[in-house]
Every structure is written in structure tokens, then in C-alpha cells.
Structure 1
Amino acid sequence: MTLGKFIVLDGNDGSGKATQSKLLTRRLSEESIASTIMDFPGYDRNLFGALLGECLAGTHGDFLHMDPKIASILYALDRFESSKTIRDALAMGKIVIADRFSSSNQIHQGGKIPAEYERVSFLGWLDRVEHEVLHIPRPDLIIYLRVPVEISLKLLLEKRATKNRLLSEGVKDTVEEDRTYLERSHETANWLATQQKNWKVIDCANQFGMRSVEDIHNEVHKIVGSLVKG
């Protein structure tokens, strides 16, 4: 049996990763292409995912300023817990769609490091930890949904206002509140997109604002189709 493909949808905050992952899964099902969807971190699924939920909520101190190597290991171990599930699905020939994966670790933890040369060194170290030490599956394709920082922040504020967005124990997500952190993460993602062959970037906004969900989905589907259907 031919191995399946591992596809990750990533993006900065407010880019609609979860929505696009679900739309892609549904579209593939309509085309009779077997697929499965996973979201990361696995807050309700994995031991380390639950711990990450507590950290992001501020339960264990200032997670934003925790050393990126230490923080990134927690995220990597969450994915490590799901590695067998991913490999089993790929062995069955399925398309595995992940809403965030190792790329999120690179983007957000790399965003903590101001100096570019230190950031590049960290990204190389993290790649070795995830894929050589822990043997976490490497995605065949990473689609990065790019949204300008100002729009991303605006979308998050609107989301909080309408849904009173909270994490574990009713504490606001301390990471998303830091503008500088988001800006550095955005810079890291743009750099990675120029360096990684398996990355494809979709700009989710134009001069008029955010593109429609349907328009973005059609571009996602086109990119995935070229991989899945050859």
C-alpha cells in the first residue's frame, strides 16, 4: 500500500487554521480520499498537551519568557505522544491533516529570540530534537496561512470580545497578549518560508482586508491537490 501524505496547516493567530483544516478534510472526503485530522497541542488528548494548556494559561508562571529550548521540549513531547497515531494513519494510505505541528514550535519559540543568528541556531537544534532524537514524523507539506500582525491582533480582540476567550481555569492566554512576541513570531515564519522546501505560503489578506474563507480554502485545496494527486 502506498503511504499517505502528512499535511500541516499553520499560521499566525487569527488565520483560521482550524477552519481551513476542517474544510480540507471535508473536501477530501467528498473526493473519496481517506483522511484524518488532528489538532495540536493535544490539550484534551495528551499528557503533555494538558500540561501545555496549564502553562499557556499562566498556571506555572511566565511561560512567555521561559527559555525557548525548555518550552519547545514540552511542545515536542506532546507531538511525540501522537507520533504513532500519525504513522499508523500514513501506513494505511490516509492523508493526515494537522492543525499546527512542529512548525508552530519553530515559529513561536523562535519568536522569543531577538538575534537572528541565535534564532537560526535554535531552529537547527529544535529540528534535530523533534525529528532525529524523538523521531516525530516530518510533514510532507506545510501550508502557512499568513496574516499581517495588525489584522491578527484585531481579529483576536474581536474574538475575545464576542466569546470571552479563556483557557484553563478561566485565565487569559498570556502568550497571545504580547504584541512584540507576535511580531517576532511573524518574522520567524517569514524566514522559515524562504528556507524550507516543504513550505507553501498563502496570504490570507489583501489591500481590502481578509480574503473570504472560501477563497482561501480553494487555494489550500489546489496546493494539496498537486501533492495528493501528483
Structure 2
Amino acid sequence: MSLGKFIVIEGMEGAGKSSAISVITEALKEQSIAFIQTREPGGTPLAEQLRDIVKSASHEETLTQETELMLMYASRSQLLANVIAPALNKGNWVIGDRHDLSSRAYQGGGRQIDDTVMETLAQVTLKGFKPDLTLYLDIEPAIGLSRAKARGELDRIELEQMDFFERVHAKYKALADKDDSIVTIDASQAMDKVHQDIRLALQQFITQNA
């Protein structure tokens, strides 16, 4: 049995990740490809508890950026070992809502944590594992955040200042530009066009890996 493929959807708040995942899952069903879905942080009972800590805006004490960083990688380690790797080994594809690129952008770019620290944590927890395909939904922070605010209450990270999100956006773009496994989708387009671009990128990937 061949190994499954790991496809990740990345992007900032309001980029349309949820609808993008729906497009991908529908396309995989059409191709009769077995898959599961995950999200980060989260995806296992323990990882979901860590997600609650990271996302909550009502802590009685300040969550340091170092704690935030390590919680992200602790959650990712649990998800990889207990969900992603077993599924791939069974030949199932895995559709992930965020993965390591998010930490590189939010903690590395937004929090300005040194790249060497990020790389060390990634090596310890992921041991070289990376997605087969990442679809990065690119959108200007101001547009994305206005969409996110329209959805309702913001979480702890979404409440950061605009300069934080500008750094996140810049890091996302820089990382996407130098990695051939990352396909950038212009998420500011009309939704139909965004979904069309996602389907095209996915079909090309499926064809190459048939």
C-alpha cells in the first residue's frame, strides 16, 4: 500500500481556509481518495486542550511568547504521532488546517522569534516531516482581519495589533516564495475564482502523484 499524502491549507485570519478545505474534500471524494481532516493547534484530545490555552483571551496571567511557541509544537507533536502519521501509513490522505508554516509565520514572523530557535523546535518535534503540498491563501492583513471581525468574537492571537499581522504576512510570503511545495493562492479574488485556483492546484498535484 502506498503512503498517503499530507495537504495543508495555510493563511491568515479571514483568508477563507474553511471554504478552501471544503473544496479540497469535495475534490478528493470525486477522485475516490480516502482522507481524514485535522486542525492545528488541536486534532487530538490532549492537543485540543493545548489549543484552548493558546486561543483563550481570558487567562488570569500573561501567556509568554515562549510558552505559546512550545505549546504550538507540543500540540503538533501529539497530532503528528497519534493522527497524521498513522493515517498516512494506512494510505489515507490527510487534509490539515494549518501546520508548521503557521508557527514559522506567527511565532517566527509575528513574535520575531529567531529562525534558529524555530528550526530547532521543528527538528525535535517533526524530525524533517513536512507536507506534500501546502496551499497558502494570501490576503492583506487589513482585509483578512475585517472578515474575521465580521465572523464574531476574536481569540487571543486575533486581538494582536496590526504590525504583528504585517510581520506574519511578510513571513508567510517570504517562506512561500522559496518553497516549491507551497502554492500561493490569491485569496482576495472573488470566491469562485479562489476555489477554481484551489481545484486547479489540487488537480495538478493529484495528476503528478497518480
> Percent of pairs identical after alignment?
26
Asked if the contact 1:55/1:61 (under 8 Å) is kept, the reply is no
- 2:155 paired residue number: 173
**1:78 and 1:16 mapped to 2: Cα distance?**
23
Asked if the contact 1:6/1:141 (under 8 Å) is kept, the reply is yes
User: Does 2:182 align with 1:199?
Assistant: yes
- 1:125 paired residue number: 117
Task: Flag structure 2 segments of 5+ consecutive residues without an equivalent.
Answer: none
- Structure 1 residues 60 and 19, CA gap change in structure 2 (3 angstroms): farther
Q: How many residues align?
A: 204
**Aligned-residue offset at 1:186:** 0.7
Asked if the contact 2:35/2:94 (under 8 Å) is kept, the reply is yes
Task: Tell me the SS of whatever aligns to 2:110.
Answer: coil
**1:123 and 1:140 mapped to 2: Cα distance?**
22
Asked if the contact 1:46/1:78 (under 8 Å) is kept, the reply is no
- 2:190 paired residue number: 211
Give matches, 1:19-58, under 5 Å.
Answer: 19-42=19-42, 45-58=44-57
**2:28 and 2:148 mapped to 1: Cα distance?**
29
- 1:143 paired residue number: 135
Task: Flag structure 1 segments of 5+ consecutive residues without an equivalent.
Answer: 166-171
Asked if the contact 1:141/1:198 (under 8 Å) is kept, the reply is yes
- Structure 1 residues 215 and 60, CA gap change in structure 2 (3 angstroms): farther
**1:23 and 1:61 mapped to 2: Cα distance?**
40
Letter in 2 for 1:75: M
- 2:125 paired residue number: 134
- Kindly report the root-mean-square deviation, in angstroms, between the aligned alpha carbons of the 2 structures: 2.0
User: Does 2:87 align with 1:89?
Assistant: yes
**1:83 and 1:48 mapped to 2: Cα distance?**
10
Q: TM-score with structure 2 length normalisation?
A: 0.87
Asked if the contact 1:143/1:200 (under 8 Å) is kept, the reply is yes
- 1:80 paired residue number: 77
Q: TM-score with structure 1 length normalisation?
A: 0.80
Task: Tell me the SS of whatever aligns to 1:42.
Answer: coil
**2:33 and 2:47 mapped to 1: Cα distance?**
31
Letter in 1 for 2:207: K
Q: 2:102 aligns with which of 90, 101, 104?
A: 104
